[in-house]
A and B are shown apart, each in its own frame.
Chain A
């Protein structure tokens, strides 16, 4: 159980275009989803936290107008990278948590590799 999927698994786009990444919890309802970014040979960096039906909370230094997050249902969150530039090329990973209780671990998706030309 506790499977999280991401789509697409990789995407290549031209500079200036927007890219949408989907994150789905397949077998549980995720009240909270998280979005991370990971550059090569670095650790995961939390970008934002989203709760179903409410606005995402962004970490310091993450532009909310550039990285649009929507968490419209208990099984789906989307991250849209608007007007992507080469420096946005990275590995984007989502995770989902089944509740807000203290014991609920996060389950991670397989990641989406974005390359902006």
Chain B
């Protein structure tokens, strides 16, 4: 079973920040949080990942709560091309480090 829960869908106005929450209350101490997005009929695209500290790259910022039970992906200035399904994944920390995908959040950026 997936170790994350996300809202099914969200809308965001173009140019505004999109804040996508993720709950991972059963995360273990050495498990990373990864975010990917999937645009229709394509393979998932890596966005960002983190362990306990907040992270930022050219695509997004990742805010992880101090207890690590939840996180938020922030797209600072959403564009129409950011419309996609966003997956928050806690990578299994043993064996082959596989991903178990949850249902994801369908983000729609509105003009």
Distance of B25 from chain A, by nearest CB (Å)? 19
The list of the 4 closest CB pairs from A to B, nearest first, reads A108-B43, A44-B101, A43-B101, A49-B96
Distance of B108 from chain A, by nearest CB (Å)? 15
B side interface size, CB within 8 A: 24
Asked if A43 and B98 make an inter-chain contact with CB atoms under 8 angstroms apart, the answer reads no
Asked if B42 and A110 make an inter-chain contact with CB atoms under 8 angstroms apart, the answer reads yes
**B16-24, B44-52, B56-64, B74-82 - interface stretch:** B44-52
Q: Tell me whether A84 is interfacial, beta carbon within 8 Å.
A: no
Residue of B nearest to A99 (CB): B97
The residue from A57, A93, A105 contacting B34, defined by CB atoms under 8 A apart: A105
Q: Which residues of A contact B98 (CB under 8 A)?
A: 34, 46, 49
